[in-house]
Structure 1
Amino acid sequence: MNAFKIIDLTSENIANYGVCGYKDIKKHLELRKKIAWFNSYYPKGLRIKAVVSEVGGYQGMIEYIPGNYAHRPVEADGYLFIHCLYVGLKKEYKGKGYASLLIQACIDDAQNSGMKGVAVVTRKGSFMANDLIFLKMRFTVVDEAKPDFHLMVIKFDEDAENPKFKEGIQASLEKYGQGLTILRSPQCPYTEKNVNAIIETAQNQFHLPVQLIDLSDAKAAQNSPCPFGTFGIIFNGKIISHHPISNTRFVNIIEKLMP
């Protein structure tokens, strides 16, 4: 295994390392928005730890925050909440145990901070870590949300109340009405890419009314009808994508739904 280190990103170094594969702050608006979001929540306990290889550079990260600021529709006060986890920007760095080390670093932080434990939303589908790595780290599933989301937790006190998805999170879908609604938050930089193209396609090709809603803070994300929290596409009151997608994928979905 190449020599590596786990570093803490701060307002002083985050622009040097980048986030989620984005490195050029001048080129990428999504990175600038992510850094601004990071700086606003860092004083509230947001942390990003990055795996940096001596040879390959930045190869993954874990992001977590106190549960009351979680950008998912959950109730997780008293827990550290993992927003995202990924490793292996280059395939030779996959399967090296980096993910386990990052999760353990989060667990250690939670224990040292007197938290109840660590929670995370996983899914069987794409764009999020699945259950397997967390089961390996002794997490258990304590709640579910449609279509394929799990809420997992490792608790330091078995008598502590479990975190849970907010009740009736999809009951608010009707308020978005007919047409297309896109929800996004700067927490996830991938929510910026392709959105303009999707809006243009929806309006010009499919002649749909479109509203873009920026989820400005944790409360807004916690009230999202999408378990992913920081992104969602709603069409005529139904969620058609729970995670960021390309314009091509959007066209394929809409063509199947349009009369």
Structure 2
Amino acid sequence: MELIDIHSDNVHEHGFFCMRSKPKSTGYRKKLAWLTERFKEGLHLKMVVDEGQPRGFIEYMPSEYNWRGISGANYIVIHCLWIVGKGKGKGYGSSLLQACIAHAKALNKSGVAMVTSSETWLSDKAFFLKHGFASIDAAPPSFELIVNRFDDQPPPAFNHGWEKRAEAYAEGLTVIRADQCPYFEEAVNTFREAAAERGIPFTLVDIDHCQDAQHGPSPYGVFHVLLNGSLLTYHPMSKRELHKRLDVHLLQHAGN
């Protein structure tokens, strides 16, 4: 097993794990451009490789420049920790997380933080609690802010006020997205097509700065889907699943 640090000098050689089989796709190219800028702000990406094959990765950066719905100083914020299915249970995730924690301590940070969720697309907190993290805040529908503190300095905090910020997108289906994940590009097309099939107005808003991610309409920061001013989901989904979600949402808000 080997941990490889991905940076601007070798990202074209190793890729960044996600969608590595489609380097010419729009989503991949947008993520690559996003990474290139974030490396300048202190982003780190480590990939675990075993038997010549990438098995997973961790992406993290200084809290001052993080792309989640939190604010804080002198912390490291993990954006993603992902191990592919067959690689689970082999210690890859623990190795990546411990490398991140060791790096944070070497940088004299006050700790490491992460936004988790019991729903899909974000990591669940259970794994991290075994590695010294503790939950310090929660936000609907299923988000938690967890931290591993090294000292007594104040930890990061959720930027609450999600519902108020969501109200600014009061008409139709609105997708707010950053280029932090290469899968968002295809997801946007799915939401756009579903809106057209329903006759619902569709709006796409691009997030170009970490401050906009930190103060978005959900703690995820980089992807929000809103229907008539309220959060519908924070993650990509199939068109079939989306239509079911739209049916439930519209029924619940009928007459409001």
Unaligned runs of 5+ in 2: 252-256
Matched letter for residue 198 of structure 1: F
Check whether the contact 1:18–1:31 (CA below 8 A) recurs between aligned residues: no
- 1:67-90 deviations in Å (ceiling 9; x for gaps): 011111101221000000011x25
Structure 2 counterpart of 1:119, which letter? A
Indicate the residue corresponding to 1:233 in structure 2.
225
What's 1:61 paired with? 57
SS of match in other structure, 1:194:
helix
Q: Paired residue for 2:81?
A: 85
- Report the alpha carbon displacement of residue 20 of structure 1 after superposing the two structures with TM: 4.1
8 Å CA contact 1:8, 1:47 repeated in 2: yes
- Contact conserved, 2:75 with 2:155, CA < 8 A, in 1? no
* 8 A Cα contact 1:34 1:189, kept in partner: yes
- Equivalent runs, 1:174-193 vs 2, <5 Å: 174-193=167-186
Residue type of the alignment partner of 2:160: E
- Tell me the amino acid that sits aligned with residue 175 of structure 1: A
Aligned partner of residue 107 in structure 1, secondary structure? helix
Q: Kindly report the root-mean-square deviation, in angstroms, between the aligned alpha carbons of the 2 structures.
A: 1.5
| Aligned with 2:245 (options 243, 247, 253) | 253
Q: After the TM superposition, which residues 34-183 of structure 1 pair with which residues of structure 2 at under 5 Å, given as runs?
A: 34-55=31-52, 57-87=53-83, 89-91=84-86, 93-157=87-151, 159-183=152-176
For residue 188 of structure 2, the aligned residue among 195, 214, 219 is 195
CA distance in 2, matches of 1:26, 1:153: 34
Deviation at 1:25, TM superposition (A): 5.3
Structure 2 letter corresponding to 1:96: K
More divergent stretch after superposition (174-183 vs 14-23): 14-23
TM-score (norm 2): 0.93
Q: Aligned partner of 1:28: which letter? A: S
Whole-angstrom CA distance in 1 between matches of 2:225 and 2:162: 15
Contact 1:34/1:187 (<8 A) preserved: yes
Normalised by the size of structure 1, how large is the TM-score?
Answer: 0.92
> In the TM superposition, what is the alpha-carbon distance from 1:129 to its structure 2 partner?
0.9
1:216 aligned to which of 208, 212, 229: 208
**Structure 1 residues 246 and 18 mapped into 2: Cα distance closer, same or farther (>3 Å)?**
farther
Paired positions, count: 251
Q: Residue type matched to 2:225 in 1?
A: I
Q: Which amino acid aligns with 1:64?
A: Y
The amino acid of 1:30's aligned partner reads G
Q: 1:218 to 1:127 in 2, by over 3 A?
A: same
Distance 2:14 2:186 in 1: 20
Counterpart contact for 2:73–2:155, Cα < 8 Å: no
Distance in structure 2 (CA, Å) of the matches to 1:257 and 1:155: 39
**Structure 1 Cα separation of the partners of residues 176 and 40 of structure 2:** 25
Partner letter of residue 76 of structure 1?
A: G
